[in-house]
Chain A
């Protein structure tokens, strides 16, 4: 996963003629088995000697959006059985499974 992040970062950096990547902003869903610290560690390890050497990862957690038939929309940090607000059982969930690169900060 860290490798795929690095590949996208490097291709974007090259496309914008970056001299160096300063930071990478990511959106990571809470449903993913991704530990932000692990991802940062692996990324910085893999990035050695590339344009992204020393770049920091700014990881934003994406919650699960819970849509409850009874009380509307709320958020959860894990997959719920029932609506976290009214405990209604008629729910649908969306999101929480993203793994997106939002933006890069580069030196040009």
Chain B
């Protein structure tokens, strides 16, 4: 017979207990000393272009591996493959973000013996990818100046949880209404520890500082 109703205190975060796959990814990466970036932005903010710049920087410095997430197509993977690095494409189909289980399955198929830096390009979308940690070391949010400066308020979680904010396409600033100072302030209010970079892939402005920072982050985990 039952003893009746009992209230039990749990006080447990769902994120911390987060799914087994993202824990497995973390330990797989930690065991190999691989530094992982999770790139999140709207479609067309420049994630793939940033990856290409990183590949140029790391060329000859040993292993970069890339995982591309898109609803459909291999277009991004093919673009990256031209740089001669290991790349896998995840097609998420009906899902608007990469699931940890999908990433884990792909990582288990890859040869990561030489890999020092793993770049995951999430599906272009500022909402769902923010809700789902993939076991990354650093989450990078990209915001292009053509998207408008209210994104940190409209999509606060991704700005709260990203270590790096990359403001892209700054060569277009003269033509659009985008207040960089306002974005910097809002991003800092959401996450005081965020590091902010302003870059243009067209002029190259700001890219060296960002690439230096990513290289030093990667080096901090090596060994």
Which A positions have Cβ atoms within 8 angstroms of B? 1, 4-5, 7-8, 12, 16, 19, 22, 31-33, 64, 78-81, 89, 91-93, 96-108
Contact partner of A12 (CB less than 8 A), chosen from B8, B15, B159, is B8
The dominant DSSP class at the A interface is mixed
Binds A, one of B55-63, B103-111, B149-157, B214-222: B149-157
B186 touches A81 (CB 8 A): yes
CB distance from A35 to the nearest CB of B (A): 12
**Is B4 engaged at the interface, CB distance under 8 Å to the other chain?**
yes
B5 touches A105 (CB 8 A): yes
**Is B3 engaged at the interface, CB distance under 8 Å to the other chain?**
yes
Q: Given A31-B160, A79-B156, A91-B189, does the pair A100, B6 have CB atoms closer than 8 Å?
A: no
Q: How far is the CA of A14 from the CA of B28 in the complex (A)?
A: 30
Contacts of A104 in B (CB 8 A): 7-8, 10
Contact partner of B14 (CB less than 8 A), chosen from A8, A19, A91, A108, is A8
Among all A-B residue pairs, the 4 with the closest Cβ atoms: A79-B156, A99-B14, A101-B10, A31-B156
Q: How far is the CA of A41 from the CA of B219 in the complex (A)?
A: 46
Other 19 A-B pairs with CB < 8 A, given A8-B10, A92-B188: A4-B19, A7-B17, A16-B8, A32-B157, A64-B156, A78-B153, A78-B156, A79-B152, A81-B153, A81-B186, A92-B189, A93-B190, A97-B160, A100-B14, A105-B6, A106-B5, A106-B8, A107-B2, A108-B2
Which B positions have Cβ atoms within 8 angstroms of A? 2-15, 17-19, 127-128, 130-131, 152-153, 156-157, 159-161, 182, 185-186, 188-190, 192
Contacts of B15 in A (CB 8 A): 99
Contacts of A107 in B (CB 8 A): 2, 4-6
Q: How far is the CA of A29 from the CA of B5 in the complex (A)?
A: 28
CB distance from B124 to the nearest CB of A (A): 16
Q: How far is the CA of A89 from the CA of B185 in the complex (A)?
A: 8
A108 touches B10 (CB 8 A): no
A32 touches B192 (CB 8 A): no
Q: How many A-B contacts at CB < 8 Å in the complex?
A: 99
The dominant DSSP class at the B interface is mixed
B6 touches A106 (CB 8 A): yes
B11 touches A16 (CB 8 A): no
Contacts of B2 in A (CB 8 A): 19, 107-108
CB distance from A12 to the nearest CB of B (A): 5
CB distance from A92 to the nearest CB of B (A): 6
Contacts of B185 in A (CB 8 A): 81, 89
B5 touches A99 (CB 8 A): no
